Amino acid sequence: MKHITNVLKTVLGVAASFCLANSAFAGNLSGKSASDLAKMIRVGWNLGNSLDATGRGANAEESWGNPRTTKEMINKVKEAGFNAVRIPVSWSTHVSNNGQYQFAIDGQWMARVKEVVNYAYDNGMFVIINIHHDNDQWHMFPTNQYLDQSKKYVTDIWTQVGREFADYDQHLIFETINEPRVVGDQYEWYFDPANPTQTVREAIGCINQINQAAVDAIRNAGGNNMDRLVGCPGYVGSIDGLTTSGFSVPNDKVSNRLWLSVHAYTPYDFCMNPDKPNHSWNQQFYYDIEWLYNSLRDKVMSKGCPVYIGETSSSNYNNLEDRKQWERCFFGFSKNYGIPCFLWDNNSVNNTNGAERHGYLNRNSLQWYEPSLIQTIMETLGYDPTSVKDEIANEWNVYVEDKAVIIKSNVEIKNVDVVSINGTKVASLVSGGNECSVTVSHNGVYIVVINTENGTSVKRIIIK
């Protein structure tokens, strides 16, 4: 199902009376620089351990114990105040050689990724998708021995993904790779950025080329991909990977459409170290976080490239009040420095590995495990989700049966218009109830404009 992302401009031009201020999908976002888009992202949430789970087949996203992702989950995330979702995706267990591509993506898996992306995209949220957990010697591995294969892998994946999402606007963001590193090396996770080992230096050079291959593939995929924001990490996704002298930003065919990715579970002793006996907040942790943000500002952003923190969280060590202190500090710097952060959520609160208790949203009950943690983040960012009108799609639902477009709402529907992609109104009705239907005679892509007592929303549909 293709997104016709510029259709709303046509709709607005032909039917100027349609008020789209409160629409779930607010229209075509284009022409914004990386810095512009970074300012538009308030705070993001990670759908961790779902589409990045490395099982096989259609139900792979459930292979690590999480339930199948639903639209209601993403609605809940937006209701809480997040306006962006990072959707990590593993592709390596869903590829095969089909003659055209050495790493051809299974169509069923691509369709499922697209379905989940649409849950957020159609809510007007920013969405990041990436290559995640494919860091192995059969797919992407940053050494000279595997460099050609690695570049081929990211080129194949991003060519296919880029073409599949070519008409999505700037709300959709691509991230080339996740935490690239030499798996199994002594310095897999940590290295001296001033004096990296030969293995790490080689890997950094390879990561530069792999990022470049990915960016080139995205730009060559056509459609809106020349305008798309693309995120690139350094070695292991760390700040050291960005600030070490060997790292370089890819050359891009377009200006100001790259930003740099860093993961920051900072300070590690507080956020993730299970061997630390006491996870109580102290002033030293403030200085650790201040150092992180100062380094990003002075050593990375000062060179003209914006930054985002694609993963951050503090693991649950039964230290709720201390975690709130960490949030006030970490997200306070995020706001003050203009560096958007994405909270890592793997839906785990009590697993045996203390480092990985990063559960925030219970994906079965759709309730926050500890709502005060989410509230603290929003308060720190100066955002009150209750102060704005709910504009997500659980107020109403649209679905198609044969040629009939059926609309159901929990508030009164005033009227409905159906507009073709060339801006022609093809059907209209006045409702007055909570459910109505309208018939569309011909196949095609249409925009349904729904006016309720709470405002106006739009939904893209396809009639087959």
pLDDT tens-place string over residues 168-190: 999 999 999 999 999 999 999 99
The band of 432, judged by pLDDT with boundaries at 50, 70 and 90, is: confident
Encoded amino acid at 189, one letter: W
pLDDT at 14: 36
Rounded to whole angstroms, how far apart are CA atoms 313 and 9? 39
The band of 20, judged by pLDDT with boundaries at 50, 70 and 90, is: very low
Residue 347 has pLDDT above 90, yes or no: yes
34: closest CA among 295, 240, 232, 294?
Answer: 232
**What is the average pLDDT score of the chain?**
89
Q: Which residue has the tokens 């983040």?
A: 377
Q: Do 434 and 409 contact (CB within 8 A), yes or no? A: yes
What are phi and psi for residue 259, nearest 5 degrees?
Answer: -140, 165
Strand-pairing partners, residue 175, are 130, 231
Token pair recorded at residue 271: 């956020």
Domains 30-387 and 393-463 share a fold: no
Q: Which of 311, 327, 356, 391 is catalytic?
A: 311
Measured CA to CA in angstroms, residue 316 lies from 81, 254, 263, 280 at distances of 22, 42, 18, 12
Token pair recorded at residue 24: 């779930």
What are phi and psi for residue 95, nearest 5 degrees?
Answer: -125, 155
Give pLDDT tens digits for 382-413.
999 876 543 433 456 777 777 788 888 777 88
The pairing of beta strand 341-343 with beta strand 361-362? unpaired
Residue 210 has pLDDT above 70, yes or no: yes
pTM of the predicted model, to two decimals? 0.81
Neighbours of 40 (CB within 10 A): 14
Measured CA to CA in angstroms, residue 398 lies from 131, 401, 435, 452, 460 at distances of 32, 10, 10, 14, 9
Give pLDDT tens digits for 30-56.
999 999 999 999 999 999 999 999 999
Rounded to whole angstroms, how far apart are CA atoms 394 and 412? 14
Q: Does domain 30-387 have CATH number 3.30.1370.60?
A: no
Q: Which residue has the tokens 């409160």?
A: 22
Q: Do 185 and 135 contact (CB within 8 A), yes or no? A: no
**How many helices (H) and strands (E) would you count in the chain?**
11, 19
Average pLDDT over residues 105-110: 98
Q: Which of 61, 164, 175, 179 is catalytic?
A: 179
Domain ranges of the chain: 30-387, 393-463
207: closest CA among 171, 177, 166, 245?
Answer: 177
The SS3 of residue 457 is strand
Which residues fall within 8 angstroms of residue 461, CB to CB, at 6 or more apart? 398, 400, 405, 445, 446, 447, 448
Average pLDDT over residues 427-450: 81
379 is known as an active-site residue? no
DSSP code for 249: P
What are phi and psi for residue 414, nearest 5 degrees?
Answer: -80, -55
DSSP code for 346: -
Which residues fall within 8 angstroms of residue 330, CB to CB, at 6 or more apart? 266, 289, 312, 341
Instruction: Check the CA dihedral 70-342-306-218 and report its sign.
Output: negative
pLDDT at 357: 97
DSSP code for 298: I
CATH code assigned to 393-463: 2.60.40.1930
Strand-pairing partners, residue 104, are 96
- Tell me the residue ranges of DSSP E strands in 299-395: 307-312, 341-343, 361-362, 367-368
311 is known as an active-site residue? yes
